Amino acid sequence: MERRVVFSGWVCPVVLLSPQLAVTIVFFFWPAGQAVLQSVRGGDAFGLATRFVGAENFAALAADPDYLAAFAITAFFSLAVALLALAPGLLLAVMADRVVRGAAFYKTVLLLPYAIAPAIAGVLWMFLFNPSIGVLAAALRAGGIDWNYLLDGNQAMLLVILAAAWKEISYNFLFFLAGLQAIPLSLLEASAIDGASPRRRFWTIVFPLLAPTSFFLLVVNIVYAFFDTFGVIHNVTQGGPAKATEILVYKVWYDGIVGLDLGSSAAQSVVLMAIVITLTAIQFRFIERRVHYA
């Protein structure tokens, strides 16, 4: 889409654009380029100079069982977070769409976790499930479950998934509610006149019409789980126990900043960039399609 009437001259737009372009070049393109360059270089034995090593860093990653494990962990974690944040979001949105009294109140309260930092969500859930003093840990133990997420990798994974998903329910709720309210009432009335039950109306009309929203949210949630949950992992488990919750972003940070293996960390950054670019491309392709629907 383009405007018909525009101003002439080029000095003015250059002045207007330059701050954003300057920040973009200095803090986006330059470091991204450095990451790519760094990823094909390795240090010598003394750490004094670097030399070109080609795809060695990537080959090392592909052969590193820890990295492959982190990949599998990230895939599982992201899908679990996305599904656990989407399903309650949809359920609550459908219910909030039905009520009249108190609708504004429900909406406001359900919105609150959106404002909470993932890292803080991690602290809140860590406190609930703290093996020695946590309220929910005590309840689990009373129920006969031996709860100690500091020792049990599966329990640690469950905890970070819960903390990360809890925070994201708000966002999904909001978008599903907006999606539901955009469905023309006449469609639902027509099918009600044809005798369709509320359940049938939901699965044959509402749910298919929400599919674009759901798909969009699925991508957004996966991106969130991939990148924005560093704070949850860093606060709650530090990737442990025994690397059971080490997601890719945590590993990039750990290998680069704590382990000082710059070549490997840069190669991991490049892999992550490829993942974000793929996910963003999927999202935008699909959004174009949605525009045609509407």
Partner 1 sequence: MVTARRNAWVPHAVLIAGLMVVLFPIYVALVAASHALPDILEAPMTLVPGSRLAANFAEALSAGTAKTSGEPVTAMLLNSLVMALAIAAGKIAISLPSAYAVVFFRFPLRRLCFWAIFVTLMLPVEVRIIPTYKIVADLALIDTYGGLTLPLIASATATLLFRQFFLTIPDELVEAAKIDGAGPWRFLVDTVIPLSRTNIAALFVILFIYGWNQYLWPLLITNSPSMTTIVIGIRQMIGNGDTQTEWHIVMATALLAILPPVIVVLLMQRWFVRGLVEAEK
Side chain identity at 218, as an amino acid letter? L
116 binds partner 1 (CB under 8 A): yes
102 binds partner 1 (CB under 8 A): yes
Among positions 188-207, residues that touch partner 1 (CB under 8 A) are 188-189, 192, 198, 201
What does the per-residue mask of binding to partner 1 show for 258-287, with x meaning CB under 8 A? ----x--xx--x--xx--xx--x------x
Least Å distance, CB 154 to partner 1, is 21
Task: Report the length, in residues, of the chain.
Answer: 294
> Over the Cα atoms of the chain, what is R_g?
24
Q: What CA–CA distance (Å, rounded) separates 27 from 33?
A: 10
Among positions 42-81, residues that touch partner 1 (CB under 8 A) are none
Name the one range near partner 1 by CB under 8 A: 58-66, 79-87, 153-161, 185-193: 185-193
DSSP string, 234-250: HHHTTT-STTTT--HHH
165 binds partner 1 (CB under 8 A): no
Complex with partner 1: residue 59 or 178, whichever CB lies closer: 178
Least Å distance, CB 54 to partner 1, is 19
Kindly report the number of other CB atoms within 10 A of residue 157's CB atom: 18
23 binds partner 1 (CB under 8 A): yes
Task: Tell me how far the alpha carbon of residue 253 is from its chain's centroid.
Answer: 17
Among 58, 125, 147, 149, binds partner 1 (CB under 8 A): 125
DSSP string, 32-59: HHHHHHHHTEEE-TTSS-EEE-TTHHHH
21 binds partner 1 (CB under 8 A): yes
Among 138, 158, 183, 282, binds partner 1 (CB under 8 A): 138
Kindly report the number of other CB atoms within 10 A of residue 199's CB atom: 8
